[in-house]
Every structure is written in C-alpha cells, then in structure tokens.
Amino acid sequence: MEVKSVERGSNIGSFYKLSTEERLRIVQEFSGLSDEEVQTLKTGALPGPSAQRMIENVVGVLPIPLGIAVNFLVNDKDYLIPMAIEDHAAKMARAKGGFRTSSTEPIMIGQVQLVKCPSPRDAENAILSSKQEILNKANQQDPTLVSKGGGAKDLRVRILPSLTGTMVISELLVDCRDAMGANVVNTMAEAIAPILEKLSGGSANLRIISNLADKRIARATAHFSKDDLGGGEVVDRIVQAYAFAAADPYRCATHNKGVMNGVTAFCLATGNDTRAIEAGAHAYAARTGHYSPLTRWSKDENGDLEGFIEIPAAVGIVGGITSVHPAARISLKILRVKTAKELGEVMAAVGLAQNLAALRALAAEGIQRGHMSLHARNIAAMAGAEGDMIDTVALAMVNEKKVRLDRAKELLTELVSSKSRNASHKEPRQAKKHPN
C-alpha cells in the first residue's frame, strides 16, 4: 500500500527516543513509502539477482544498520537524511535558518592519454580544430543523456611532461545531469580515442573518467549560535581547531575524515560510489599542492560560528547501484531529492554538520571533560560490559581516575557477582562514535 507523503518538518523532537517501529512510521509518512518499502528497509533485503548484478564472485550480502538524521533544513526545505547520525548539529543550524547551498553544473571530466605524438603542439592544435567533430562523436554514444540536456559540452587539451616522455591529454567535459557518469564518460572517451589518434599521430593509452571532479562542486554554509554551542570560548576553540587543520596535514587528514564520516555514509545509503567520492574529496583538498580542509570555520559579526564546505559532488540519482539496490532507491525516496545537483548539495550540508559535531566534541572537551567518559565507555565495552553496565563501569573508572582495561575487568566482575541473576535483559546501548 502506498502511503501519501505528509507535509511536515524534519524537526521531529526526541526521534532517538522512539522505537524503531515509531521511527519507521514517521519516515513512511514523511516520504510516502509503501508498506513493501518499509518492509525492505527493516530487513535490508537485497535479492540474489540484484546482488549478482552489482559485483562479481558474489557469495553473500553484508547488511549494515540504516539510521535517519532528522532536523536538516536546507534552502528552507526539510530533509530526513539516511545513514547520517548528526542531527544535533543540524538542529543548531536550523535555529539560525538552516543550510544554504549552491553548486556548479554536473560536469565530469573524461581523459584520453595520447603517447608518442610526433609533435605535441601540433597534436593540440589539430585536436582543438576538430573539437565539434569530436564532441559530436562523444554525444552519439548517449542520446538519452543528450535528450536530458546533458552530454559532452567541451574539450580541452593539456601537454603533460612525464616520467615516460611528453604526453598529450585530451579531456572531455561531460554534463552528466542526474547520473554520476563514470560509465557514460568512459564510453565517450573510448569512442573518441581513434579520432584523437588520427589527429595527433600518437597512440591512445588510457581512456577513463577523472575522479577529481573539480567542475562538479557543491557548497554549503550555515551559522551556529555561540549559545547553542556552549559559549564564545567554544566558538574560538573550533576556529582554532580549523586553523590547526589548515596549517597541518596530520590534523587535516582527520579533520577531513570527520567530514567524510557524513559524506561517505550518505553516499553509501544512496547507492553512490563511496570510493569515487573519497578519491575526489581528498584530491580536491590537495589541489593547491597543500592538503587543506574541505570546510572553513570562522566567527561571524555576532560572535557566532560560521561554517562553509566546498566538495566535489560526483553523485547520481540514476544509473549505477542507485538503480539496482532496493535500499538505495528507498533512501533516495526518503530524501525526496529531484536532481543529482540537489543530492550533491544536501550531501555537502551533511558533511558540514558532521564536521561541526566532531569539532565541537573535540574542541569543547577541555571544558566539558566529555572525552574521558567516552573513552571510559569504550574501555568498559572492551572489558565485556553490556547495556547499563557500560555506564556503571565507565563512571566508576572516571571517578577513580583509573580508566584502564584491567580496572574495567575488575569492576565488571564485582558488578556481575553483585547483580541479581534474574535481572531483566535490556537492549544494548547504541555504540557512540569517536569524533574526528
């Protein structure tokens, strides 16, 4: 049965306190999911034939939990975000008007490597003189894409000195519309290679998409009130944490990993290529030769925190796994996005929110001493504590200032022996992620 989507905000109070069934019912209403789709979400069902189409040598499936983050307001539209965990940062952003986003057209780059060109300069001139013929050849490969307003739009040539001699690199700029575009672009690059060989007198070697999608960029910005963050000192500490990442690649890798915690999970849920996104993000972060943060943080004129993210957004809502995996299709339906461009912009907002959550946890740690109890809980869990025992053991260790595995085991043994045998079993507590 199809349920009609209900117009409601994504600011759903205490979503985390609801049962799985109650949460599912809200998501179903918000996104108009059918009962069948709800059932698919519950089990993560991936039919054998679908799995066979996704990879080679299939022997099974690997189910992982799918959560929903509420509270996301992006360009005044409410979103429920599959696989994201950071709705507190989204709630803080919402209080200041939510996220504002923008993006470029969905242009991907296809490269053809030409080697052994007798004259690289002549090759460049000849190729550029035949640009229209080459673009036409590329566009003949995908009439559907062209009919949607996409297709090969431009061609550029670079002469590249290299370890094995000078190469001529021809690059197709392809508007992929709502597809990620790797297959489309690869097909086009292969199709134009013989023409390029003829024009250059060289030999075509690689013909493949570039994952440095620097012409397909999504941006998001948001403000976070200093009061919500815990005071002006927290704002200053977050800005200092950002400055650390901007100055130091060791910190920056972890800073960007914090961004990608949101982005990669989002891509996984929506059936997008997480490896392509990761490669693009890190290459983009290093594009100046200095590995830099994907986000920027500053104090605004009111003393509140302002965040900005700029990230390549090679994501699609058609093609690839998005069409094959039932849970990916449902995730896209939950998001209610209409275009790949919109998906990329929401992805950027998720990355910004996730980064803030990590920075806040880390930067405010000195003030709140939150980290020690988080660490203590991890140690308690490592010692074998479950359910409520995790917090009991952790608290005892923090109070004793002895957060160690051996002490956790001792405390656990004492606790277990003193605990009544017929105590009711409780659901295990949700694992808390370490911030980045």
Find the binding residues for ligand NAD in span 198-217 (CB under 6 A). 209, 211
> What is the per-residue binding string for ligand NAD in 65-104, x denoting contact by CB under 6 A?
----------------------------------------
Span of 45-53, 96-104, 315-323, 416-424 interacting with ligand NAD by CB under 6 A: 315-323
Exactly one of 82, 262, 316, 344 binds ligand NAD (CB under 6 A); which one? 316
Find the binding residues for ligand NAD in span 240-259 (CB under 6 A). none
- How many binding residues for ligand NAD (CB under 6 A)? 24
- The set of residues, in sequence order, having a beta carbon less than 8 Å from that of 171 and lying 6+ positions away, is 109, 110, 111, 112, 155, 156, 157, 158, 210
Buried/exposed code over 161-173 (b: 16+ C-beta within 10 A; e: otherwise):
eeeeeebbbbbbb
The answer to whether residue 140 forms part of the interface with ligand NAD (CB under 6 A) is: no
Indicate the residue among 90 and 192 with the shorter CB distance to ligand NAD. 192
Residue holding tokens 């002549």?
Answer: 122
Is 294 in contact with 262 (CB distance < 8 Å)? no
Cα 138 → chain centroid: 30
The answer to whether residue 152 forms part of the interface with ligand NAD (CB under 6 A) is: no
402, with CB counted inside 10 A (0-12, 13-18, 19+), is: middle
The answer to whether residue 46 forms part of the interface with ligand NAD (CB under 6 A) is: no
As a residue count, the chain comes to: 436
> What is the per-residue binding string for ligand NAD in 162-191, x denoting contact by CB under 6 A?
--------------xxxxxxxxx-x-----
Indicate the residue among 131 and 148 with the shorter CB distance to ligand NAD. 148
The answer to whether residue 142 forms part of the interface with ligand NAD (CB under 6 A) is: yes
* Cα 211-214-219 angle, rounded to 5 deg: 120
Is 347 in contact with 311 (CB distance < 8 Å)? yes
The answer to whether residue 273 forms part of the interface with ligand NAD (CB under 6 A) is: yes
The answer to whether residue 307 forms part of the interface with ligand NAD (CB under 6 A) is: no
The answer to whether residue 318 forms part of the interface with ligand NAD (CB under 6 A) is: yes
Exactly one of 77, 100, 131, 148 binds ligand NAD (CB under 6 A); which one? 148
The answer to whether residue 276 forms part of the interface with ligand NAD (CB under 6 A) is: yes
Q: State the angle between helix axes of 370-382 and 405-418 in degrees (0 to 180), rounded to the nearest 10.
A: 70
Strands 100-103 and 217-224 come out as antiparallel
Cα 38 → chain centroid: 24
Indicate the residue among 55 and 423 with the shorter CB distance to ligand NAD. 55
Interface ranges with ligand NAD (CB under 6 A): 142, 144-145, 148, 150, 176-184, 186, 209, 211, 273, 276, 316, 318-321
